[in-house]
A = this chain, B = another copy of it.
């Protein structure tokens, strides 16, 4: 069974948890609280020198970081990865877009505004840039979704999962999606996919005290 090192409120970790749930792949989940420095301990850095979650143990002692690489790995040969080579490349295209245009902006805003106490003040110098570039990414997505139900191959794939993770919480960190109706409709479609779980879903429910 896979072991996934993950933080519950991280969008990057949610991508992997959502895909695992939809693919019905069981997983041993280990919560890593990056706010408490748990991803910077010597033990964790030995597993991932980049000190980040999610991190998937894909074989005994072999650890795969990077949420979108993990998505690709676990979903390969499933309907979540397109069969056609061009479609597959387009899935990667949107996942790279997510990592350089969406996550560094909306993901950063989410982290500092909702997870870190006092984060808004600490990062006030960066906020304007996150807003401008985050809206830029949303505009590219809106334009695509005006004529497509999903990002690739006319169906739900790992590209949608990757883009959904931070887009679906954008309104919680000051982004106004009013002028992005196609994005909002797509968010609803994703949330209606079979096996969908919410970001606050816990794979391992705490045992009920007797």
Contacts and interface: CB of A to CB of B under 8 A. Distances in A.
Contact of A100 (B64, B93, B100): B100
Interface residues on chain A, size class: 20 to 34
Contact of A93 (B64, B101, B140): B64
B86 A72 contact: no
Contacts of A140: 49-50
A96 interface: yes
Contacts of A201: none
A163 to B, nearest CB: 13
Nearest to A67: B96
Contacts of A49: 140, 143-144
A58 interface: yes
Nearest to A59: B86
Contacts of A88: 72-73
B70 A86 contact: no
A59 B87 CA distance: 12
A157 interface: no
B62 A89 contact: no
A194 interface: no
Interface in A118-133: none
30 contacts: A49-B140, A50-B97, A50-B101, A50-B140, A59-B86, A64-B86, A64-B90, A64-B93, A66-B92, A68-B92, A68-B96, A69-B89, A69-B90, A69-B92, A69-B93, A69-B95, A69-B96, A72-B88, A72-B89, A72-B92, A73-B86, A73-B88, A73-B89, A73-B92, A76-B85, A95-B96, A96-B96, A99-B100, A100-B103, A104-B104
Given A66-B97, A69-B90, A96-B96, 18 more contacts: A49-B140, A59-B86, A62-B86, A64-B89, A64-B90, A65-B93, A66-B93, A66-B96, A68-B92, A72-B88, A72-B89, A72-B92, A73-B85, A73-B89, A92-B92, A99-B99, A99-B100, A100-B103
